[in-house]
Every structure is written in C-alpha cells, then in structure tokens.
Homo-oligomer: A and B are copies of this chain.
Amino acid sequence: MVTKQLSGDAGAADDADLTRADSLAREIFSDVANKWALLIIETIGDGTLRFTELRNGIEGISHKMLTQNLRMLERNGLLERTVHPTVPPRVEYTLTEAGQGLRATVDGMCDWTQRFLGHIEGARRRFDAPVNG
C-alpha cells in the first residue's frame, strides 16, 4: 500500500510515504528493490552462506555486484555478517528477522514469475511481432 500524506504534517508520517522522493521508505525501497538484492535474499533463505556459495548460487552476478549488495543489505540490517576467527577468516551471511520478512515477499515474486511465465512469454511475442505480421 502506498500511503500519501494529505496534510503538511512533516516527520515520521512522511518517512513512510513511498510516493515522496525524499522519504526514508523510498530510500529503503530504492536500495532493496533491485534484482541482485532480491536474489541474494532469496538464495540465503534459511541458510548460512559464504561469499563463494552465494557467488556460485546466483549465476551471472559479478564479484562487485555481490560485494556492493551484501554491504547494502548489512547496512540496512537485513543480513548479519559473521567473521569466524579461523585462518583464513571464514565470513558467513544469514538473514535477520527483517531480512526474513522481506524474503517472504520475494518468495511471492518468484512464485509469481513462475506462475505467469507462459502468459508473459505470449505477451512478449505479440508485442514484438511486426504489426501486419
């Protein structure tokens, strides 16, 4: 639900207003609503994964994109990074409660993608076809 503030009421209420370019909600949404962040959350799931496991689990993600998004997700409190004092140190990632909350909605998006695969494929074919094909 997108909330729209009608009054000139500043502060906390505006923070939650996704329609505003400068709200905290929009800032968070801009961070997490990107394919790599969502695929990372989905891939960690209930598990505890290392960088290389994530890298191998998400075909096509670059080292840079994975690093940037892990840092962004940690900064937003969606995942926890644990460094085990081994030699070399072992670094693992798990979802926090907030991360699990987002995961539930990403699950829904993945299910949706798979449910409407055929519909979308057909729509694309029609859209891309020459007008008098």
Chain A residues in the interface with B (C-beta under 8 A): 1-3, 15-16, 18-22, 24-26, 28-30, 32-35, 38-39, 42-43, 45, 57-60, 74-78, 98, 101-102, 104-105, 107-117, 119-124, 127-128
User: In the assembled complex, how far is the CB of residue A103 from the closest CB belonging to chain B, in whole angstroms?
Assistant: 10
The answer on a CB contact under 8 Å between B112 and A102 is: yes
The answer on a CB contact under 8 Å between B34 and A1 is: no
**A interface, by DSSP: helix, strand, loop or mixed?**
helix
B22, B24, B98, B110: the one contacting A1 at CB < 8 Å is B110
User: In the assembled complex, how far is the CB of residue A106 from the closest CB belonging to chain B, in whole angstroms?
Assistant: 8
User: In the assembled complex, how far is the CB of residue A3 from the closest CB belonging to chain B, in whole angstroms?
Assistant: 8
The answer on a CB contact under 8 Å between A119 and B77 is: yes
Known: A35-B30, A77-B119, A120-B28. A105 touches B109 (CB 8 A): yes
| Copies of this protein chain in the complex | 2
| Complex interface: chain B residues within 8 A of A42 (CB) | 1-2, 18
The answer on a CB contact under 8 Å between B28 and A117 is: yes
The answer on a CB contact under 8 Å between B76 and A120 is: yes
Cα distance A43–B4 when bound, in Å?
11
Cα distance A74–B128 when bound, in Å?
11
